[in-house]
Amino acid sequence: MEGEWHHFHYTVAVAIFMGASFAIALIFRRQKMSKLPPGNLGWCPFLGRTLGFVNPHPSTSNGHFLDQNIIKYGKIFRSHLFGHRTIVSCDQEFNNFVLQNEDRFFVSSYPANIPGILGRLTLLVATGTVHKRLRAVALSLFAAIRNEQQTFLDDLQNCALLLVKSWKNTETIIFCNEARKYTFTVIVKEILSLKADDPETSMILENFLTFMKGLCSIPIKLPGTAYEMAIQSRRRIFEIVRTIVRRRKNTGDHGERKRKDFLDVMMEMEGISEDEILSLVMDLLLGGHETTAMLISILVKCLSESPPALHQLREEHRGVRKRKEKGEGLMWEDYKNMKFTQMLIKEGLRYGNVVKFVHRKALQTINFKGYEIPKGWKVLPILSGVHLDASQYHEPLQFNPWRWQGKDKRGELYGKYFMAFGGGLRLCPGSELAKLETAIFLHYFVLNFEWTPLNPKDVPMAFPFVDFKHGLQLSLKPLSHPTTTLSS
């Protein structure tokens, strides 16, 4: 009996011990897990939750995936995207922390097809000293513009006028394609001094379109795949630009250029290789073309839905014209005085979210707001998540250019909540060019045309790269008393 009693005690003690150990292990495990942001990695080892994340939705919203995850887990959560364990963040403070700590705690880390197609020298992919050096070159190109603002502005005006004049007898246009034509002519003019009707321009454009399709494809290196075709197109663009570089080198050719173009500036620099020059040309073509065309398209769409904004914009540009001789071009001061236009552009960037998110990777394990961000995990700062956050912006889902009234460009209130151009060491070097191009285009467009979208449901979509499904078809009506040089 006593033996049984002992045995009973012994069994109870073991059970208690095992139960306690299990509970302690669970607590430890919980503690360890609880350091990671909450979330769900999905069940599929490679896809994880990628399909949910990339599911198209209007770019003026966060989309179902982000909305649901924010409700369930908060603004910072873990997921499994693009084949990697990932921390997703719509949190303004964390996003700023990530962008400001580039190369220290985080580093740019784009999916394999980007470096695969663009090469290791592309700015988006380059890190550390290589990135610093190439970025310094890119920044100095834009600084060179500042010294010759007026000739630069004249170039842009010529491109804008060329385009709007081409619509003189046209009733409908696919606006996104037209906007792409504009931004492409601007960028090939600035980099290579090519004109819209130069054969090299159409050769580059043709290859560029194939190239763009491959950027979002699955990286399969087989003949005929979008990925492989993009690599070939990049090679062909490189060859076209290489021929121009060699021609300039051999002949000392400066053509009819009134001022040095980007290629001239790069070729005069010490210590930059031909391959680096070609890669930078590609970066600028890529960065400067699609994004700005989308910003302009988003604004044209928003203006058609906001008569008060369109009215105020027209009044501002009519005011500019009143101070000028008939047909006279815009001056730098005119641009600086376009206050409402600036507000409108900023709102278009916030509301339309041309770049939804950027790709990063944690270089070391980081603790932030009580969360552990493990070394090696991908981190996606969602820029639109901040722009559409009701705790940062009043009624964020409304297009309201007046929200920027009185907010100085560097104003603290919105400064760190505005992330359309990224931030930190990778802040977009083309941001000023993008805004200028947009303002100049709007000037000639709103003064010369009225327009109506033919399909009101054709809205900017995040695929997640932004595009309009039907290209934003517009019916155009010339204004009866055009106030610019269009009639000339």
Residues contributing to the site for ligand HEM (CB under 6 A):
108, 123-124, 135, 138, 187, 283-284, 287-288, 291-292, 295, 354-355, 358, 420-422, 426, 428-430, 433-434
Which string of DSSP letters, residue by residue, matches 444-460?
HHHHHEEEEES-TT--E
Least Å distance between CB 227 and ligand HEM? Answer: 21
By beta-carbon proximity to ligand HEM, the closer residue of 392 and 485 is 392
By beta-carbon proximity to ligand HEM, the closer residue of 52 and 288 is 288
By beta-carbon proximity to ligand HEM, the closer residue of 152 and 476 is 152
Cβ-in-10-Å burial (0-12, 13-18, 19+) of 221 comes to: exposed
CA distances from 61 to 126, 244, 276, 444 (A): 31, 43, 38, 30
Least Å distance between CB 55 and ligand HEM? Answer: 21
By beta-carbon proximity to ligand HEM, the closer residue of 228 and 290 is 290
Q: What is the dihedral of CA 360, 361, 366, 370, to 10 degrees?
A: 60
Least Å distance between CB 134 and ligand HEM? Answer: 8
Least Å distance between CB 155 and ligand HEM? Answer: 13
Least Å distance between CB 202 and ligand HEM? Answer: 20
Least Å distance between CB 410 and ligand HEM? Answer: 18
Which string of DSSP letters, residue by residue, matches 40-76?
---S-TTTTTHHHHHS-EETTS-HHHHHHHHHHH-SE
Question: Tokens 């073991």 correspond to what residue?
Answer: 14
Which string of DSSP letters, residue by residue, matches 244-301?
HHHHHHHH---TT-SS--HHHHHHHSTT--HHHHHHHHHHHHHHHHHHHHHHHHHHHH
Contact call for residues 216 and 317 (beta carbons, < 8 A): no
By beta-carbon proximity to ligand HEM, the closer residue of 152 and 421 is 421
Q: Characterise 216 by phi-psi region: left (phi > 0), alpha (psi -120 to 50), beta (else).
A: alpha
By beta-carbon proximity to ligand HEM, the closer residue of 123 and 366 is 123
By beta-carbon proximity to ligand HEM, the closer residue of 321 and 385 is 385
By beta-carbon proximity to ligand HEM, the closer residue of 288 and 460 is 288
Least Å distance between CB 348 and ligand HEM? Answer: 8
Task: Specify the length of the chain in residues.
Answer: 488
Query: Residue with CB nearest ligand HEM?
Result: 430
Three-class SS state of 399: coil
Q: How far apart are CA 120 and CA 129, in angstroms?
A: 13
By beta-carbon proximity to ligand HEM, the closer residue of 294 and 373 is 294
Q: How far apart are CA 430 and CA 141, in angstroms?
A: 10
Q: How far apart are CA 263 and CA 278, in angstroms?
A: 9
Least Å distance between CB 429 and ligand HEM? Answer: 5
Q: Which two tokens stand for residue 175?
A: 């606006």
Which string of DSSP letters, residue by residue, matches 347-388?
HHHHHH-SS-B--EEESS-EEETTEEE-TT-EEEEBHHHHHT
Sequence-distant (≥ 6) Cβ neighbours of residue 85 within 8 angstroms: 41, 78, 374, 377, 378
Least Å distance between CB 334 and ligand HEM? Answer: 21
By beta-carbon proximity to ligand HEM, the closer residue of 110 and 483 is 110
Contact call for residues 79 and 48 (beta carbons, < 8 A): yes
Least Å distance between CB 284 and ligand HEM? Answer: 5
By beta-carbon proximity to ligand HEM, the closer residue of 39 and 423 is 423
Least Å distance between CB 327 and ligand HEM? Answer: 28
Q: How far apart are CA 124 and CA 127, in angstroms?
A: 8
Cβ-in-10-Å burial (0-12, 13-18, 19+) of 215 comes to: buried
Q: Which two tokens stand for residue 343?
A: 């507000």
